[in-house]
Structure 1
Amino acid sequence: MPRIAVLIPCWNEALTIEKVVTDFRAVLPEADIYVYDNNSTDGTAEIAKRAGAIVVHEYWQGKGNVIRSMFRDIDADCYVMTDGDDTYPAEAAREMAELVLSGRADMVIGDRLSSTYFEENKRPFHNSGNVLVRRVINLFWGRGREEIRDVMTGYRAFSPLFVKTFPILSEGFEIETEMTIHALDKNLLLMQVPVSYRDRPAGSVSKLHTFRDGARVLKTIFMLYKDYRPLRFFLAAALVLTLISLSLFLPVFHEYLATGLVPKMPTLVTSGFFMVAAVISTGIGLVLDTEVKNARKNLEIQMNMIRMLMK
């Protein structure tokens, strides 16, 4: 029988964690349900243990840190990740797991935004933030692919290939964005399943800080674009530097043609510095692009070795 692991990262979810564990146990009775408690002070760990979950304590604060430990510690044929706040329906877990177990997906996204998210979610800036992040991701990574409809959902299923080759760098809520970009950039099999969404019950408080965590997500997208697509990134920088250089140089050159004099020598020198910076930026992009391609080759070899070990 395939081994299925349900992963539930938690921080102060005493109000909902028992129901989440019970619901997923009903849908996936053969699964091992793991609750990784991230320094809760409201008894979340004790409630989860009484509900039948395997409870592990992760003391390094942050959702990304919790998921890093989960992926390192747990071996399974399919991983289903959800949140402990009872906003995702357990009923979708079987379909998501089957997509992974049948080999049709390395990551399955539980898509909230195509169903009830905008009606249920009571935080308007979260709505606009999700739409903004989705558009940016599809702009940078979505060419020739099916549009990613929900980048920041916490409801996902993974193959062992994804889990054991995903280098987690994020520490907080930007982890879902990093997962999505990794799957797109590495050409992993990606499927999307629309799931209903319900807002947190009364008394349950979101741990997501709209503006602070939103800024972290956008920073993550920016940094990963630089890391994964360095040639495009540094060519864009070189283009900007070139335009600045030309905007400074052309008036000086025009005056030189008209008078034979260069009265604005500092401006001419500054334009030269900008042009040199543009050339350097292009060189950096070419070098880093070669490094990224070599890293992609190494990752492909690692994936092949993991597939051999899984057989």
Structure 2
Amino acid sequence: MLLPCFNEEVTIGKVVRDFRAALPDAVVYVYDNNSTDRTAQIAREAGAVVRREPRQGKGNVIRAMFEDIDADVYVMADGDDTYPADAAPAMVAKVLEGYDMVIGDRLSSTYFQENKRPFHNFGNRLVRGSINHLFGAHVTDIMTGYRAFSFTFVKTYPVLSRGFEVETEMTIHSLNNNLRLYETPIRYRDRPAGSVSKLDTVGDGIRVMGTIFRMIREYKPLPFFGGLGLLVGLIGLALCGMVTAEFVGTGMVARFPTLIGAIMLVIVGLLLVSTGIILDVIAKNDRKAFLVEANTISYMRRGRR
């Protein structure tokens, strides 16, 4: 059981006790991310194994947890008491059935009623629509922090993000590599009185959208560069057509700068399309390499048992 925490003294004791009761055979790890309150002390008194991660940011904490801990199944939640611990056994069972990642789906149940931050609700819908459209998927909750993972997923997932955008990165990584995902609805509840959210609606929203932009560029280079190249090339062709129509009517090319610029736009468009094709081949090879690595880790894991 993995709980990344930053200044959660109001809720962390209850969260640790709830998950210890729901998963009595699990070890509860609390990773304290430079808290200035009594988070670490309260978690330790509640029975958790407390470790410290000095690099600030949720992505950095998750990177450390995934590097440090070996387990058959990992369950991750937040320390703010917004996720129900009683959903954890069913999520663990799904991972043991063979799923790579189980997503605790807040949006199908109580999230939009409990969450009092309208911009967060809008952001969730925007991110969900963008990613599902690009990958042809039907994931309901892209950004939930309540997830369960297999050993193979944890050891092959490259955590690149530093902050709260890491959940979006996880989902895109899973969709891109065609991993086995399962969503289970959970009853989300808003933070209790006295507990303060660490999310910066505007700042973290910009970082999430930047992560989506970056990962689309890396994982879907042909639509990204090909679409951009097609747009630029069509603008160039349209300008060429205007100059050509003038030449047919007058027998003169009066706008040489426009003609030169149009030809340059067509060339840039072709280069962007070519770049997209090359990067698409590289991305497919990366997916093949990921599958080989995942299969190798699974084989080695079975051999140790």
TM value normalised by structure 1: 0.96
Larger mean Cα displacement after TM superposition, 51-60 or 245-254: 245-254
Q: Determine the C-alpha separation between the residues in 1 that align with 2:228 and 2:216.
A: 13
Question: Displacement of 1:247 after TM fit?
Answer: 2.6
Residue 110 of structure 1 aligns with an amino acid whose one-letter code is: G
Say if 2:65 is the partner of 1:65: no
Say if 2:27 is the partner of 1:32: yes
Question: Displacement of 1:233 after TM fit?
Answer: 1.0
Question: Displacement of 1:170 after TM fit?
Answer: 0.4
Give the secondary structure class of the aligned counterpart of 2:28: strand
Structure 2 counterpart of 1:99, from 67, 86, 94: 94
What are the equivalent positions in structure 2 for 1:270-309 lying under 5 Å apart? 270-309=261-300
What are the equivalent positions in structure 2 for 1:123-272 lying under 5 Å apart? 123-141=117-135, 143=136, 145=137, 147-272=138-263
Q: Determine the C-alpha separation between the residues in 2 that align with 1:129 and 1:298.
A: 33
Give the secondary structure class of the aligned counterpart of 1:291: helix
The equivalent of 1:51 in structure 2 is 46
Q: Determine the C-alpha separation between the residues in 2 that align with 1:249 and 1:260.
A: 15
Question: Displacement of 1:210 after TM fit?
Answer: 0.7
Q: Determine the C-alpha separation between the residues in 2 that align with 1:184 and 1:251.
A: 44
Say if 2:108 is the partner of 1:114: yes
Q: Determine the C-alpha separation between the residues in 2 that align with 1:118 and 1:290.
A: 41
The equivalent of 2:16 in structure 1 is 21
Q: Determine the C-alpha separation between the residues in 2 that align with 1:279 and 1:118.
A: 45
Q: Say how many residue pairs are matched.
A: 302
Q: Determine the C-alpha separation between the residues in 1 that align with 2:198 and 2:239.
A: 49
RMSD of aligned C-alpha atoms?
0.8
Indicate if the aligned counterparts of 2:235 and 2:262 stay in contact, CA closer than 8 A: yes
Q: Determine the C-alpha separation between the residues in 1 that align with 2:110 and 2:291.
A: 38
Structure 2 counterpart of 1:85, from 80, 84, 88: 80
TM value normalised by structure 2: 0.98
Q: Determine the C-alpha separation between the residues in 1 that align with 2:229 and 2:168.
A: 27
Q: Determine the C-alpha separation between the residues in 2 that align with 1:42 and 1:250.
A: 67
Q: Determine the C-alpha separation between the residues in 1 that align with 2:260 and 2:224.
A: 26
Larger mean Cα displacement after TM superposition, 35-44 or 293-302: 293-302
What CA deviation, in whole Å up to 9, does each residue of 1:30-52 have, x standing for no partner? Answer: 00100000000011011111111
Indicate if the aligned counterparts of 2:230 and 2:273 stay in contact, CA closer than 8 A: no
Structure 1 runs, 4 residues or longer, greater than 6 Å off: none
Question: Which segments of 5 or more consecutive residues in structure 2 lack a partner in the other structure?
Answer: none
Q: Determine the C-alpha separation between the residues in 2 that align with 1:250 and 1:278.
A: 16
Q: Determine the C-alpha separation between the residues in 1 that align with 2:235 and 2:196.
A: 48
What CA deviation, in whole Å up to 9, does each residue of 1:251-302 have, x standing for no partner? Answer: 1110001111000000000001111101111111121112112111111111
